[in-house]
């Protein structure tokens, strides 16, 4: 679940057929934000039962934005009704009431993208890290490790005016890069217009585009200094704004120790299928 609920059937490391979305019309994000947790559980369980079509289900993987640990969504700034929801046990009960008894695991929404990339690229034995650039900023990691890993809330600015993060914190990566944050910053322009104007040389927009890239570089450099070098995938609806050449130069200015300089970025197209596969991978590994 992100801006909408995406569902699909997985066999091996591929989606069988096509993914479906709920709701399939209207402003999905606003509809989901207005749903109480009990209604979300009912909707997801009904949709999963319809997908199963009476067949046996081995595992169900579920993914939500925010801090997800031990089957509980501890915090979800962009879907505040989810805070504290014991979603794993709630979904287990709802599916059991519908005659479905699978392994169940819930994960952070960007972690499942990392797992899906690992599965589909044959990298289940390697470290995979992902930046998701959208309304919020997500950081995903495969294999999962203990910890919070809320990379979108890494502090990249000491400016006390950087207050646009959805969680309310100051100076966060999401405060600069998040789609919602950009709309709040440029009340008279959409993010697409901001980056288009930057290419045309508009001073205000050009300065922001530089700041936007350097914020991602700073967060990546912090991760490299803590977790080591390697590949970082970039995806999500706003990955289209990334200038890889400038991003790489910015990281090079921040990472100077030679053992840490073996990093690389790759932009991949936003894919609901990858996320669905990753959710199931996590469920099977957790089981």
Structure tokens at 208: 């922001």
- Angle of the 191-199 helix axis to the 203-227 helix axis, nearest 10: 100
154, containing H or E segment: none
In contact, 156 and 219? CB cutoff 8 Å: yes
pLDDT digits (tens, 9 = 90+) for 142-163: 988 888 889 999 999 999 999 9
pLDDT at 29: 79
In contact, 123 and 274? CB cutoff 8 Å: no
Structure tokens at 199: 């290419």
pLDDT digits (tens, 9 = 90+) for 216-274: 999 999 999 999 999 999 999 999 999 999 999 999 999 999 999 988 999 999 889 99
CA dist 120 and 128 (Å) reads: 12
In contact, 153 and 173? CB cutoff 8 Å: yes
CA dist 154 and 141 (Å) reads: 15
278, containing H or E segment: helix 272-286
In contact, 95 and 44? CB cutoff 8 Å: no
Give the list of residues 6+ apart from residue 62 with CB closer than 8 angstroms, or none: 1, 44, 87, 88, 91, 104, 105, 106, 107, 279, 283
pLDDT digits (tens, 9 = 90+) for 17-72: 889 999 887 778 788 989 999 999 999 999 999 999 999 999 999 999 999 999 99
- Check whether 187 has a pLDDT greater than 70: yes
For the chain, domains (ranges, CATH) are 5-109+273-286 (3.30.420.40), 114-267 (3.30.420.40)
pTM for the whole structure? 0.90
pLDDT at 287: 63
């Amino acid at each position: 679940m992100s801006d909408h609920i995406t569902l699909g059937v997985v066999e091996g490391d591929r989606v069988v057929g096509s993914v479906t979305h709920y709701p399939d019309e209207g402003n999905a994000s606003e509809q989901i934000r207005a749903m109480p947790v009990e209604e979300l559980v009912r909707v997801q369980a009904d949709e999963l039962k319809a997908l199963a079509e009476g067949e046996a289900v081995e595992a169900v993987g579920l993914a939500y934005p925010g801090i997800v640990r031990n089957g509980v969504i501890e915090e979800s700034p962009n879907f505040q009704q989810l805070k504290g929801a014991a979603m794993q046990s709630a979904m287990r009960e709802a599916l059991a009431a519908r005659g479905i008894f699978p392994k169940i695991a819930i994960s952070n929404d960007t972690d499942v993208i990392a797992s899906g990339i690992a599965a589909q690229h044959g990298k289940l034995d390697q470290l995979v890290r992902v930046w998701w650039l959208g309304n919020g900023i997500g950081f995903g990691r495969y294999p999962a490790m203990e910890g919070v890993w809320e990379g979108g809330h890494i502090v990249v600015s000491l400016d006390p005016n950087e207050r646009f993060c959805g969680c309310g914190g100051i100076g966060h990566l999401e405060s600069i890069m998040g789609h919602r944050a950009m709309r709040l910053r440029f009340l008279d322009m959409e993010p697409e217009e901001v980056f288009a104007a930057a290419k045309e040389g508009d001073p205000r927009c050009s300065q922001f585009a530089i700041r936007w890239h350097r914020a991602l570089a700073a967060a990546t450099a912090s991760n490299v200094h803590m977790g080591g070098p390697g590949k970082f995938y970039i995806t999500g609806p706003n990955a289209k704004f990334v200038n890889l050449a400038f991003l790489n130069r910015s990281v090079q200015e921040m990472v100077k120790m030679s053992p840490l300089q073996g990093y690389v970025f790759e932009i991949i197209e936003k894919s609901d299928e990858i996320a669905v596969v990753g959710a199931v991978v996590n469920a099977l590994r957790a089981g």
